[in-house]
Structures are given as C-alpha cells and as structure tokens.
Structure 1
Amino acid sequence: MTNEKINRYQLFTLIIFFELGSTFLVGLSLNAGRDSWIVLLLSLLGGIGLLLGYLKLYSWYPDLLFTKAVIKVLGRVVGYPIALLYCIYFLYMGARVLRDFGDLLAITILHGTPLFVTITLFTIIIGFGAYLGIEVIARTGEIFLPWALLMGGLFIFFVYMMGLPQLHNIQPILNDGWSNIWNNVFPAGITFPFGEMIVFSMLYPYVTNQKKLSTTSLFGLFISGLIITLISVTIVTVLGPSWAKSSAVPVLDTISMVNLQDFIQRLDPIVIILLVMAGFFKIALLFYVSFIGLKDLLSIPNNRRGAFVIVLSLLLITVSLVMSKNYIEHTEVGLKIVPLYIHVPMQIIVPFFLISIAIVRKKLAKN
C-alpha cells in the first residue's frame, strides 16, 4: 500500500458516485412496477446491514486491505485463493459496468461507433486514473459531485414543475403482494448496488479520519439510496409501470418529456454526460481496487506499476467485449444470474464466514 490518503468528504463523494454509477441503467428495481420504491427502501436496509458487517470486519483488522484481511482470517493456504478471487470479482464487475456504458453510448449518441472503440477510449481514461492513484480519483470526484447533483436536481425539478408525475401510476400499493416485493429485494435489490459497498473495504485504509469512517460510509449509502428511490419513483410516476419496465433507458425516456415553453428541452445529451460521469467513477474504483489487490498479492514492484495497469486494462477490455453477444443478453445475465451466483457468495456468504471465524478466533485468543 502507498502513502496515498483521502479525507471523509472525498470518501463520501466516491460512495455517491459509486452507488449511483450504473444503477440508473439497470438497478432501479423497475421490474417491481409501482412497488419499486418499496423494494429499493427494503434493499437499502439490507445493504446497510451488509455494510455494518464490512465495517465491523475492518475494525478488527484496521489498516489492512480487505484481501489482506481475508488471508489474515483464513490463513495463507485458504485465504490467498479467496483473496485472489475477490480481485477477479472486482475486475469482472468493472468489465460489466464498462459494457453497460459502452452499450448505452452505442444505442443513444454513438450509433455508428464500434463498441470496441468506445470501450477502449473509456478504459484509457480509467487506466490512467488508476495509475495516478486514489487521491487523484477522489479529488476529481470532489470537484464534479456538486455540479452533478445540481444538474440532476434541476432535471428532477423540471419534471415535477411540468406536472409530469402521476400518482395513480404507483397506486394501489402492494397490488401484486409481498411475494413480488421479496423476489425483487433478494438477491438483486440488496446486492446491486448496495451490497457492492464491499469494494470500499479495499479503500478504507486510505481514509485519514478513521474515527468517522463508519458514519461517513453509512451516511453516503443512505443518501445514495434515497436518491435512487426518488429517481425510481419519478420514472414510474411519469412513464407508468409498464413503460418503465420495458424501456431500455427509462431515465432518458423520462427526461426527454421535459419541454418548458419550447426553450428547455432535449436534455438527453446532458443526462447521458452525467450518467457516463458516474459510470466512470464506478468503473475506476472497481478497476483500482482490483489493481491494488493484485499488485499486493502478486508482489508487483512500483517500477512495474505502469506496465501492470496496461495489462489489466487490456484484460478489462477483453472481458467486457466477450462477456455477452448483445445488450439484451448482457442485461439478462446481469439481472438474473450475476446477483444470485456471483454477488451473493462474494458479498454475503464469504463475509459472513469471515466474520464468524474472526469472532471465534478472538474468543479463543481471550481464553
């Protein structure tokens, strides 16, 4: 680990960008229809529970990367392969989000541009950010977050000022029963995006004020959850549950309906810029934690840092391109297979066993 440091506000900024990231593309629980807001609030509560577990584990092994803590708890023979698996997991998730935004740009503003070109250009910026380090990424986020929240807030204001939302689109509440709610809460709702906070277990050692770390993390997750819920409610009340479910990019469909006196209209490109901005930070953080984890596990010297970033960048591009044939397949896998078979083990099952083993070891140490 280097001597890089980030402050509490920068941590909060990164959490907001990370949680919003690709959530506006595929993580608004719109499959729950008019009850999507209930799904999101319950998922947020579950995500807070998971985050408390991650924070507790970190408090027992402060100043250690999560991958190091895994080895510390399980021993090198068992822990090293699992730590390596987490690095692969982070890189894979970065590739998935990268593909999300490559497809977004392909179906919106870059129709004739090959997917390879879009993803490669995106990766060059991400790799450069990882090479410069977490301080640079955090400072960049610190600059852009106020503007992103201001612009996003204005767009929501325009939607409501025009009277586009219709409350009857979210009524009656619980029309499809609680089973529909729980099916959407677990595993997809809790694990994406809230359970992905496990990524920050790799970044906590870089935070300067460790005493306020838990408060900042929980507050960042809570605010992110409220923003996501507000956006989801807005989309459903404007488009209606059926349109919201079937839309490829419901956020853009919603904002495209804004037309104030034929003056404020066609805001889609600005929204796409905001989405891509949030996506950049999410991919950059996933790539960075994979990079520092692998660099540590493989004992890559600092003078090889640049070459290692290039190798990982090429791997990121390759995985992103070959993981699915088209946008529909990519979305299906991301919403139905990844949450249950990848997120649940990596975000819930393994951390639960780590915490359980750590508790047992601490009790045995006291005795």
Structure 2
Amino acid sequence: MEKGQISAGQFFVLLFGYLLGTSFFFLTGELITTAKQDAWIVPLWAGTAGVIMSFIWLKLANHYPGLTIVQICTQAAGKGIGGLIALLYIGYFVHLSALVTRNLGDYMKQSLLTQTPITIIHVMFLLIICYAVGKGIETIARATQILIPIFTLTLLFIIIFSLSEWNWDRFQGMFQMNVWATMKETRSILGFPYMEAIVFMMLFPFVRSKIKRNLVFGVVLTTIFLSATVLFIIGVLGVTRATHSKYPFFLIVQEIHIGGFEQMESTISLVLLIAVFIKLSITYYAAVLGLCQLFRVNNRSWLAISLILLISGLSLGFNNVLENIVWTNRFYFEYMLFFAIIFPSLLLFMTWMKQSKGKQKEGSKL
C-alpha cells in the first residue's frame, strides 16, 4: 500500500497539469464550434461550477480525514452499498484512463504516426505509465514538477510567436449567443475537465497541508488559462478556420515559421505527451490504488501491469474520432453527474444521518 506524501505545491502542480493538460488541446475546437466568438466565456461559467463542486468534495473529505474516496464509500455507506459505489468509482477511473489513452492514440495516428497501429501507440505509452504508477505518487509528483515548466514555457513560446497573426476583427459578432442554449450545448465542459477532478479525492490523504486552498486555486487558474487559450485561438485563426480543425492549436503550430524551422509539429506533440503523461498517471494510479484498498492488496505491481491490457482494450471502444466526440457531447455530463455530484452528495447525506443518530443516542443515555 502507498505510504508516500506530497507537498501542497506538488498537489497544486498535479491538479493544474491534470485539468489544463489535455483540455487546451482536445476541448477548444468543440467549444468554438458551438459558441463561436463567445467560446472564451464558456470556461468561465464552467469553472465557477467547478469551484462549487470542489466544496462538496472538500466537505465530504473533512468528515473522513486520511481516507480516499474509495475508503469513504465503505465507511459512509457500509461494505455492501459502499463497496458497490467504490467499485463503480474504480471502474470510472479505469474508463477515464481508457478515454485519455484513446485521445492520445487518435491524435498520434492522424498527425504523426499514420502508419502505426493505434494499439501499439496505446500499449507503448501505457507501459511508461505503468512504470510510473509502480514507483508511487511521490515519483509522479516529482516528475510533474519537472515537466510542468517545460509544458508551460513551450505553450508561451508558441503563443508569443503566433500573436503576429492576431486580428481583433475576428471577434465581430461577440456577445450575441443564446446563453441558455449555449450552456446546454456546451455542458460537456463541466464533465471534461472539471468533474474529472473528483479523482483527486484519491490523493487527499497523501497531501501534507493546504488542500482546500490549492484545489480551489487550481480550478480557478485552469479556468483563466483555458479561457485565454480559446480567446487566443479565435484571435489567431478566426472562428471559421478553428471550427474546421479537430485540433486548432495544432493548426496554429503548423503555420509558425521561426528562422529556418518550419516543421514545429513535434513541439506541440511533446507538450501533449507531457499533458497526457500527467493526466493518465493520476487516473491510472487512482484505479490501482482503489483496487488495492477495496480488495486489501498490498502489492500493486501486478495490478498495474494487468490494467495495461484492460485499458488498452477499452480504449478501442470507439470506431473513430467522430464517435468519441458525439458520445462526449451528448452523454459525458450526465455520466459524470453520478461520480462528481450524486455519489458525493449521497455519501455526505449518509454521513450526516449517522452523526445525527449518534447524537440522539448520546442524548437518550443522558
């Protein structure tokens, strides 16, 4: 079982890399397609909802200090119902790992490794993740501390050299969206990335201090960066060009010319690999740790290795990128409601019921 600890700063870096990591690349095109010139506003309301959700998770965690969400399930709801909910959470962590793996595979298959079977891409990357998970959360946190500056500086480098293409005329027609209809159509942004932060309830016991401040600040900072990224893409590409590309940020990078360097695709690929490593390490780790805690397994190595085949197989659940996009837009928010809001609220309600019954018994004895 894991006995490591991470600092408040490492927790924040993990959260920031997890939330912003893949969303700046895979989410922005869909937001611009739906909300047009007003797409940069969407992350602002979604981030506000994300902060509210984080308070529910923190309230639940405060009742069970030192326990993960899997352990809280059995403590609050008993071994029967609680064990079932815990198993559903573990299944979700595995499924989320498969979704992240598939997103990486689709990008690499379409953009760079066009002749390589997608399964090979999945398995090779999962082997690296499995090794990191086997080393523990402290190793993942230290690796993230090293990689995040590379990730951030590379993005800033790309943005600075692309600002020469900025045109304010591309924002004509702003503030004309139907607010309710746009919120309904872009509700999937609540699921990805904000509701996915529920996985960090598996890491709370390993954080030394300042969980609340860093969780809220991480969500807020991610919201600002994501909104700024969407604004940047619209200003550089325009709505029409951005909506015709699955990866508009990649399109910007393709058009950057710096001196004699014209092929910059490898640069954004490096950034994406860092982002996927951070996110997949955390989701994979949460799945392995949850299995160890629920079934009382002391050695996580064999579980980590076994999940490679399961996650790789689940990642092939979609036939193509279009099916992945349609499923995410139509069902991901409703799917995530159970894990991010319904189950935590139910566990919190059960906890309050137990506490009130305990106080009544104490009162009757007096």
Quickly name the TM-score band, shorter chain normalised.
Answer: over 0.9
CA distance in 2, matches of 1:97, 1:306: 21
- Provide the secondary structure at the position in 2 that maps to 1:22: helix
Superposition RMSD in Å: 1.6
Q: In the alignment, what sits opposite 1:281?
A: 278
User: TM-score, normalization: structure 1?
Assistant: 0.93
Q: In the alignment, what sits opposite 2:350?
A: 357
Q: Aligned in 2, Cα 1:153/1:59: closer, same or farther, shift over 3 Å?
A: same
TM-aligned CA deviation for residue 338 of structure 1: 2.4
Q: Is the Cα–Cα contact under 8 Å of residues 98 and 315 in structure 2 kept in the other structure?
A: yes
Q: Residues 114-263 of structure 1: matches in 2 within 5 Å?
A: 114-160=117-163, 162=164, 164-186=165-187, 188-209=188-209, 212-260=210-258, 262-263=259-260
CA distance in 2, matches of 1:185, 1:53: 23
TM-aligned CA deviation for residue 215 of structure 1: 0.5
CA distance in 2, matches of 1:35, 1:15: 26
CA distance in 2, matches of 1:334, 1:181: 16
Q: In the alignment, what sits opposite 2:84?
A: 81
Q: Aligned in 2, Cα 1:268/1:314: closer, same or farther, shift over 3 Å?
A: same
CA distance in 1, matches of 2:171, 2:142: 39
Identity %: 27
Q: Is the Cα–Cα contact under 8 Å of residues 21 and 279 in structure 1 kept in the other structure?
A: yes
Q: In the alignment, what sits opposite 2:311?
A: 316
Structure 1 unpaired stretches of 5+: none
Of 33, 36, 39, 2:39 maps to 36
TM-aligned CA deviation for residue 207 of structure 1: 0.8
Q: Residues 13-52 of structure 1: matches in 2 within 5 Å?
A: 13-28=13-28, 29-30=31-32, 31-52=34-55
Higher alpha-carbon deviation: 108-117 or 26-35: 26-35
- Provide the secondary structure at the position in 2 that maps to 1:252: helix
User: TM-score, normalization: structure 2?
Assistant: 0.93
Of 261, 266, 285, 2:263 maps to 266
Q: Residues 77-116 of structure 1: matches in 2 within 5 Å?
A: 77-116=80-119
Count of residues in correspondence between the two structures: 357
CA distance in 1, matches of 2:325, 2:142: 32
Q: Is the Cα–Cα contact under 8 Å of residues 166 and 235 in structure 2 kept in the other structure?
A: yes
Q: Which amino acid is the alignment partner of residue 286 of structure 2?
A: V
Q: In the alignment, what sits opposite 2:63?
A: 60
CA distance in 2, matches of 1:169, 1:70: 49
Q: Is the Cα–Cα contact under 8 Å of residues 2 and 136 in structure 2 kept in the other structure?
A: no
Q: Is the Cα–Cα contact under 8 Å of residues 42 and 227 in structure 2 kept in the other structure?
A: no
CA distance in 2, matches of 1:90, 1:132: 19
CA distance in 2, matches of 1:266, 1:180: 40
CA distance in 1, matches of 2:168, 2:181: 20
Q: Aligned in 2, Cα 1:197/1:278: closer, same or farther, shift over 3 Å?
A: same
TM-aligned CA deviation for residue 26 of structure 1: 2.7
CA distance in 2, matches of 1:21, 1:177: 29
Q: In the alignment, what sits opposite 2:332?
A: 338
CA distance in 1, matches of 2:356, 2:238: 54
Q: Deviations over 1:158-185 (max 9, x none)?
A: 112x1x2222323333323212332145
